[in-house]
């Protein structure tokens, strides 16, 4: 499973979702038997086998203090799943669907329920009042599911048999430029609100994505918001923007329900790019594919060049000089870095400009947001041979 989580109104929600969502999906996909084992272990206070095997970046942070509360909620979820008495667990599509919505409702409920510990309570509040869009991919053999809520995007890099590259979008951005989303919103709310529901290309004039986790100020009724916040939270200290947008008549306006797409991987599907809207604002799908392909070929070249090492010093020198001239050895460590470098370093003609890149990266924190969005990118490479083997093997 891979995921991209793009927060807004603070990082709390994105952080929480990034840590919790995979557990919900994993639990949804577990068989009845496994769930029973887990429940048994919990009941007898035995240690639980880890549900997930994380592949984290060393820099990734985690909320350590609150995991026990989160585990309790996860347990409630699997208890409910147990009650459903489904032998095989949910289908992947269902699992993704439920997990997104379940986690969002847990986030929303956690803050409504009384919490003793002040740290946990403040954190839950921050999570609920900030928001996050999410896009996650689930790969099982040749079965690729992508669930998306918000304006992150996933695309496939496809190499046709004739060697040409193309891109295959797997998600639709949930924002005001998406006609389907517009009609969904209009359908869900009374006709009187048709004009006010999207203003200045934003949901209620506030939010760009039309689906997201958290953001309870766009989900709860005004009364609920007031009653929760009046329970003595110091909202200012917590840096929460407590404000009900105008024309707030028929909540909820926002949902975390994902759009799930399925794709059967073919040998020509070479890689998957998941990225937050910051990247897509700057680069088109085609640009992204082109850049990743460029990186792939260079990395290949890099390897092959020196693997068959020239035998004598003269040849070695000329090879090294060639590589230096083509700037090869300065290649980015990975394709994701390269994408980000180009997203913020490209000038209006689509060329990399080192000065521009440096300027963009050294902007003071408070100014940076006016010139660039935060960008998160994950590039997943598929092994075409094993995909091919799948097809041959039946």
Distance CA 235, CA 232 (A): 9
**Is 299 among the residues that bind other proteins (CB under 8 A)?**
no
Nearest in space to 100 (alpha carbons), one of 208, 175, 8, 24 = 24
**Do the beta carbons of residue 152 and residue 378 sit within 8 Å?**
no
Give Cα separations from 385 to 142, 143, 227, 269 (angstroms).
12, 15, 58, 11
Q: Peptide bond before 289: cis, by omega within 30 degrees of 0?
A: no
Q: How far is the CB of 253 from other proteins (least distance, A)?
A: 50
Query: Any contact of residue 332 with other proteins (CB under 8 A)?
Result: no
Q: Which of 306, 358, 359, 389 contacts other proteins by CB under 8 A? A: 306
Rounded distance between C-alpha atoms, residue 167 and residue 157, angstroms = 5
| Stretch of 1-9, 74-82, 112-120, 309-317 contacting other proteins, by CB under 8 A | 309-317
Looking at the DSSP bridge assignments, the partners of residue 154 are 274
Q: Residues 300, 304, 306, 309: what is their CA dihedral angle, to the nearest 10 degrees?
A: -170
Q: In this chain, which of 55, 237, 307, 311 binds other proteins, going by CB under 8 A? A: 311
Nearest CA among 202, 291, 290, 303 for reference residue 253: 202
d(CA 53, CA 75): 18
Least distance to other proteins from the beta carbon of 381, Å?
Answer: 22
> How many residues are recorded in the chain?
394
Among 49, 84, 307, 313, binds other proteins (CB under 8 A): 313
Nearer to other proteins, 266 or 302 (CB): 302
Q: Which stretch binds other proteins (CB under 8 A): 136-144, 230-238, 306-314, 343-351?
A: 306-314
Residue 379 β-bridge partners = 273
Structure tokens at 82: 């147990």
Q: Does 317 bind other proteins (CB under 8 A)?
A: yes
Q: Is 329 in the site for other proteins (CB under 8 A)?
A: yes
Cα separations (Å) of 240 from 21, 129, 214, 216?
23, 7, 12, 11
Interacting residue with other proteins among 76, 316, 352, 358 (CB under 8 A): 316
Where does this chain touch other proteins (CB under 8 A) — which range of 82-90, 195-203, 232-240, 313-321? 313-321
Interface with other proteins, residue 301, by CB under 8 A = no
Q: Does 388 bind other proteins (CB under 8 A)?
A: no
Task: Candidates 34-42, 96-104, 274-282, 322-330: pick the segment binding other proteins (CB under 8 A).
Answer: 322-330
Q: What 8-state DSSP symbol labels residue 202?
A: E
- Residue 318 CB, nearest approach to other proteins (Å): 9
The nearest distance, CB 320 to other proteins, in angstroms, is 4
The single residue among 304, 312, 333, 362 that binds other proteins, judged by CB under 8 A, is 312
Would you say 222 or 329 has its CB closer to other proteins?
A: 329
Report if residue 44 touches other proteins, rule: CB under 8 A: no
Q: What track of x and - describes contact with other proteins for positions 258 through 277 (by CB under 8 A)?
A: --------------------
- Out of 226, 231, 264, 309, name the contact with other proteins by CB under 8 A: 309
3-state SS of 337-393 is HHHHHHHHHECCCCCECHHHHHHHHCCCHHHHHHHCCCCCEEEEECCHHHHHHHHHH
Q: Which is nearer to other proteins, 314 or 394 (CB)?
A: 314
Residues that bind other proteins (CB under 8 A): 306, 309-314, 316-317, 320-321, 323-324, 328-329
């Amino acid at each position: 499973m891979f995921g991209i989580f793009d927060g807004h109104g603070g990082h709390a929600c994105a952080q929480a979702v990034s840590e919790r969502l995979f557990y919900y999906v994993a639990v949804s996909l577990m068989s009845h038997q496994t769930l029973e084992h887990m429940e048994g272990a919990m009941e007898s206070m035995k240690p639980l086998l880890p549900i997930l095997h994380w592949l984290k970046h060393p820099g990734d942070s985690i909320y350590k203090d609150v995991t026990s509360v989160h585990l309790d909620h996860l347990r409630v979820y699997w208890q409910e799943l147990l009650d459903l008495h489904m032998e095989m667990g949910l289908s992947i599509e269902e699992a993704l669907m439920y997990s997104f919505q379940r986690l969002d409702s847990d986030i929303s409920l956690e803050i409504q329920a009384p919490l003793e510990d002040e740290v946990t309570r403040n954190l839950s509040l921050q999570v609920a009042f900030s928001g996050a869009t999410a896009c996650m991919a689930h790969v099982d053999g040749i079965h690729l599911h992508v669930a998306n809520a918000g304006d992150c995007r996933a695309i496939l890099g496809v190499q046709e048999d004739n060697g040409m590259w193309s891109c295959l979008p797997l998600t639709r951005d949930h924002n005001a430029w998406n006609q389907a989303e517009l009609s969904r919103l209009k359908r869900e709310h009374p006709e009187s609100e048709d004009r006010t529901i999207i203003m200045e290309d934003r949901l209620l004039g506030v939010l760009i994505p039309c689906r997201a986790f958290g953001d309870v100020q766009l989900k709860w009724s005004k009364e609920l918001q007031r009653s929760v916040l009046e329970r003595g939270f110091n909202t200012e200290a917590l840096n929460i923007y407590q404000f009900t947008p105008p024309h707030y008549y028929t909540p909820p306006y926002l949902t975390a329900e994902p759009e799930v797409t399925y794709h059967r991987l073919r040998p020509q599907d070479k890689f998957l790019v998941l990225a937050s809207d910051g990247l897509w604002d700057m680069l088109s799908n085609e640009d992204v594919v082109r850049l990743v392909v460029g990186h792939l070929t260079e990395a290949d070249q890099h390897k092959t060049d020196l693997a068959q090492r020239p035998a004598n010093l003269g040849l070695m020198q000329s090879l090294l000089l060639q590589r230096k001239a083509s700037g090869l050895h300065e290649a980015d460590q990975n394709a994701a870095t390269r994408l980000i470098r180009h997203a913020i370093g490209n000038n209006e003609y689509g060329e990399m400009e080192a000065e521009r890149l440096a300027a963009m990266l050294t902007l003071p924190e408070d100014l940076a947001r006016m010139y660039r969005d935060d960008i998160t990118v994950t590039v997943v490479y598929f092994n075409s041979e094993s995909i091919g083997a799948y097809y041959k093997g039946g």
